[in-house]
Amino acid sequence: MATVLPIVLPIFGLIALGVIGGRSKFFPERAVDGLNNFVLYVAVPALLFRTIVRSAPLETLNFDVAYAYYLGSFALLGAAMVFGRGVFGLRGGEQASFAMGCMFANTSLLGIPLVFAAFGEAGLVPLMVIITFHSLVFATLFFVLHDLDQTGAIGWTATLRMIGRMIVTNPVIIAIAAGLVWSALRLGMPGFVAVIIDMLAEATIPTALFALGAVLAGFKVAGNVNHAFTMAAVKLVIHPLIVFALARYVFTLTELEVAVVTITAALPGGLMVFLIAQSYGVYVARAASSLVIGTAGGLLTLSALLAWFT
């Protein structure tokens, strides 16, 4: 734990500062949205682009990382759907939101800073294999599940347009694609461009974590707390256990890849869980509560995992 605390405490300390800031008059909703957009559209893409250009990952990419993560996630998705229906009596959109809360990770605002702080740029390479289509695949899936229950709420045509728009506008996909092309062509960068990218990349950790806390400041624990606690517990404990078993015993992964894929699965739920629930007006309070509970609980579970892997 002596090596873990210097990583974990600053990370969750910055989240706590974000919560304080988000509840103060200095960071109204518009300011939080602007900070969040800076992280997702500027800082994170700069960090990913720099990582790819520096590490030339085309020679080392291991897609078993994605197989282990996504196979485990889809297995949990199916089990959570069954559990939500059988135990809590959930149907339709509620069932879909419950399942999403059990397996959708906060890879951008928390995952990238945490993995980068713990493993450096070497850890971001396997993480990129996971996050390239993470939001695209799972957000699309849950929009479709909600539409099946609530036909016409968004509509199939609009859903297809949304998929196309997410592909061409997703900053993570754009940054990774640009980095791979740049790396493959072995293009150099003028010194001042490299300095700008370095400055933006170095801003990722503090701004992402502060932004996460500021966003969470707008949520509160409400609704059926049993559902929220169950989602958070499954996300923090069951999801990483399933993915770890696949990564360790089924697929051929290095120790670093096993650590990154397991920690990614152990991340608390992502904001998309709340946003999709809110867009349909279904399961909103319980989705928000699970994010608050999961992020708080992640301090303990992620600390334990980092201690185990480091």
Please give the Cα distance from 297 to 309 (Å, whole number): 19
Which domains, ranges and CATH numbers included, belong to the chain? 5-309 (1.20.1530.20)
pTM, full prediction = 0.88
pLDDT band at 72 (very low <50, low <70, confident <90, very high): very high
Mean per-residue pLDDT for 106-114? 92
Report residue 163's pLDDT band, with 50, 70 and 90 as the boundaries: low
Q: What percent of the chain has pLDDT over 90?
A: 57
Residue 280's pLDDT band, with cuts at 50, 70 and 90, is confident
Provide the mean pLDDT of the chain.
88
